Structure 1
Amino acid sequence: MSSTTKALSLLTHFSASQPEIGLSQLCRMAGRDKATTYRHLQALETAGFVEQNPATKHYRLGPALMQLAQLREATVPRKDGAKPVLSALADATGETAHVTVLSGQTLYGLCACEAPHNSIRAVIDINTFPLHATASGLCAVAFGPQDLFDVAVASLSGFTAATPTTQTDLAALVSSIRDTGFGRANQTYEAEIQSLSAPVFDHSGHLAGAVAVASVATRFTPDLEQLIKSELVTAARNITRNWGGTIPPGIEAAWARSLTHSNALERTS
C-alpha cells in the first residue's frame, strides 16, 4: 500500500457518529504509529481534506471534500437517482433503507433513509462496507467483478459469531445469493441486525452497487422478509433505471423464482 493510499484511507474512519477524531484515537483505529499518522494528516490538511477543530485539536473532514463531492454528483449523478426511491422503500418496509456504490474494489455508502415507524431501528454509520459481512458487500461479490471474491477472502475479519471467516463459508453464501438474487446478512456484521439487498446497475451494464434494507433482528419475521424482498425488487429496478441501466435477465429470473417460492411456502404453512 502506497503512502498516498495510506493517507487517504484515514478519511474512511470519519462518520456521522464520529465526525471528529483525535490523533491518538486515529492511530488506534488505523493501527499505525503516531509519527506516521501525523505525517499523513499533515498532508491531508495541506490538501484541504481534513482540518483541525481549533477548540479540541481533533481532526474532521475538510472543505475540499465538499467541492469534490459536488463535482462527483454533478458529473456522475447517483444520490438524486436514489434518494426518492430510498424514501419510498423505507416507508413501505418500516425499516432503514440504504444504497452503496462500488468503486474499484471498495463498496462505499452513498445515502440512507431511516423509517420513522419504529423507535428502535438500524443506523447506517459506516463509510465502507465489508464485502464478506454485509448484505450489500455480499451482493457485490455475487454479482460484481470476479476478483471481488478474492478481495473478500483476503480480509475475512470476524465481526460476530455468524460472520463467514473461511473461503468455503463465503463461497456457500455467494452461491445462495446468486440463486436467489438477494444478498443476505443474518447478523454477520452486527449481532442485532438482519439485512437484505439487491444489486443495481448503471449505463455501463456492470454492477454499480446495491440497495439494501436493514432491520432489527428481533422483528425480522418471514412476513417482513417477504415484504422487504418484494420492495427491494421495485427499488433496484427504479434506481437502475434512474442510473441509466437495466437489470440483467438472469437476476430478474432469480428474483421471480425466489418470490414465487416464498409465496408457495406461505400458502402451505
Structure 2
Amino acid sequence: MSSATKTLALLSHFSADRPEIGLSQLCRIAGRDKATTYRHLQALETAGFVEQNPTTKHYRLGPAVLQLAQVREATVPRKLGAQLPLSQLADVTGETAHVSVVSGTTLYALASCESPRHGTRAIIDITTFPLHATASGLCALAFGPDAMLEAALSQMDRFTPHTATTAEALSDLITDARATGFGCSDRSFEAEIHSLSAPLYDQTGLFAGAVSVASVATRVSPEQERLIKTELIKASRDITRNWGGQLPANVTSAWASGSSRHYETDSTP
C-alpha cells in the first residue's frame, strides 16, 4: 500500500457516529504508529481534507471533503437514484434496506432506510463493508472486479464465530452468490444480523454496488427470505435503471434458476 493510499485511508474512519477522532485514538483504530499517523494527518490537513477542532484538538473532516462530495453527487447522482427503491424495499420487507457503492476495491455505504415496523432493527453505522463478512461484500466478490478478491483475502478478520476466515470458505460463499444472484451473510459480521444483497450496475456496464436488506436473524423465516429476495430483485432493477445500467444475463439467469426460480424475474432490464 502506497503512502498516499495509507494517508487517504484515514478518512474512512470518520463517520456520523464518530465525527471527531483524537490522534491516539486514530492510531489505535488504524493500527499505525503515532509518528506516521501524525504525518499523514498533517498532509490531509494541508489539503483541507481534515481540520482540528480548536477546542478539543481532535480531528474532523475538512471542507475539501464536502466540496468533493457535492461534485460527486451532482455529476453521478447515485444517492438520488437509490432513495425511492430503498424506501419501498424497507416498507415492504419491514427491515433495514441499504445501498453500497464500489470504488477501486473498497465498498462504501451510500444510503440506508430503516423500517419503523420493528423496535429492534439493523442499523447501518459503518462506512465501508468488509468484503468477506457482509452480504454486500460477497456481491462485490461474486460480480465485481477480480482485484477485489485479493483485497478480501488480505483482510479476513473474524467478527463472529460464523465469519469465513479461510480462502476455501470464502470461495464457497462466492460460488453460492454467483449461483443464486444474491450475497448472503448469516450472522457473519454481526452476531444477530442476517443480510441479503443483490448487485447493481451503472452506465459503464460494470458492477457498481449492491442493494441489501439487513434483518434481525431470528425474524428471517423461509417465507420472509423469499419476500426479501423478490423485493431485492425489484430494487436492483430499479436502481440499476436509475443509474443508467443494465443487469447482465448471468445475474438474471441466476435469479431465474435454482432456488431463486420462484422469484420475480421479469427479463426487462
Structure-2 residue corresponding to 1:82: 82
Alpha-carbon offset, residue 260 of structure 1:
2.7
Q: What is the Cα-based RMSD across aligned positions, in Å?
A: 1.4
Single out whichever of 222-231 and 254-263 deviates more from structure 2: 254-263
Aligned match of 2:191 = 191
- CA distance in structure 1 between the partners assigned to 2:15 and 2:201 by the alignment: 26
The AA in structure 2 aligned to 1:98 is: H
**Which residue of the partner structure matches residue 259 of structure 1?**
260
The yes-or-no answer on 1:204 pairing with 2:209 is no
**Within 2, Cα distance between the matches of 1:19 and 1:78?**
23
- Using the TM superposition, give the Cα deviation of residue 81 of structure 1 relative to its aligned residue in structure 2, in angstroms: 0.5
TM-score by length of structure 2 reads 0.94
Percent identity of equivalent pairs: 65
Measure, in 2, the Cα distance between the counterparts of 1:23 and 1:204.
40
Q: Give the length in aligned residue pairs.
A: 263
Cα separation, 2, equivalents of 1:252 and 1:162: 29
Distance, in Å, in 1 between the alignment partners of 2:78 and 2:226 is: 27
Displacement of 1:253 in angstroms is 1.8
Q: Distance in 2 between matches of 1:17 and 1:67?
A: 21
Report how far residue 183 of structure 1 moved. 0.4
Distance across 2 between alignment mates of 1:117 and 1:53: 39
Deviation at 1:147, TM superposition (A): 2.6
Q: Which moved more, 1:35-44 or 1:158-167?
A: 35-44
Deviation of 1:208 after TM superposition, in Å, equals 0.6
Q: Which moved more, 1:166-175 or 1:51-60?
A: 51-60
Note the C-alpha offset of 1:61: 1.1
Partner of 2:159: 159
Instruction: Give the whole-Å Cα distance in 1 for the aligned partners of 2:140 and 2:165.
Output: 17
Q: Give the match's secondary structure for 2:261.
A: helix
The AA in structure 2 aligned to 1:14 is F
Paired residues for 1:91-106 under 5 Å? 91-106=91-106
Displacement over 3 Å in runs of 4+: none
Match of 2:124 in 1: 124
What does residue 57 of structure 2 align with? Answer: 57
Q: 2 CA distance for matches of 1:113 and 1:50?
A: 28
Distance in 2, matches of 1:84 and 1:205, equals 22
3-state DSSP of counterpart to 1:129: coil
Shift of 1:34: 1.3
Equivalent-residue separation in structure 2 for 1:261 and 1:165 (angstroms): 32
Per-residue CA deviations over 1:139-176 (Å, capped at 9, x if unaligned) read: 01001112322221222111111111111101111111
Supply the distance in 2 between the matched residues of 1:48 and 1:117 (Cα, whole angstroms).
42
Asked if the contact 2:99–2:210 (Cα under 8 Å) also holds between the matched residues in 1, the reply is yes
The gaps in structure 2 that reach 5 residues or longer are 265-269
Q: Which deviations, in whole Å up to 9, do the C-alpha atoms of 1:94-142 show, x marking residues without a partner?
A: 1111111111111111111111111111111111111111100000100
Once the two structures are TM-superposed, the CA of residue 80 in structure 1 deviates from its matched residue by 0.9
Q: In terms of mean alpha carbon deviation, does 65-74 or 219-228 score higher?
A: 219-228
Asked whether the equivalents of residues 144 and 206 of structure 2 are also in contact (C-alpha less than 8 Å), the reply is: yes
What runs of 5+ residues in structure 1 fail to find an aligned partner?
Answer: 264-269
Under a length normalisation based on structure 1, what TM-score does the superposition of the two structures give?
A: 0.94
**What SS class does the counterpart of residue 209 from structure 2 fall into?**
strand
After the TM superposition, which of the residue ranges 50-59 and 183-192 deviates more from structure 2? Answer: 50-59
CA distance in 1, matches of 2:92, 2:222: 16
Query: Match for residue 8 of structure 1?
Result: 8
Instruction: Specify the code of the residue in structure 2 equivalent to 1:121.
Output: R
Distance 2:47 2:263 in 1: 52
Distance 1:242 1:208 in 2: 12
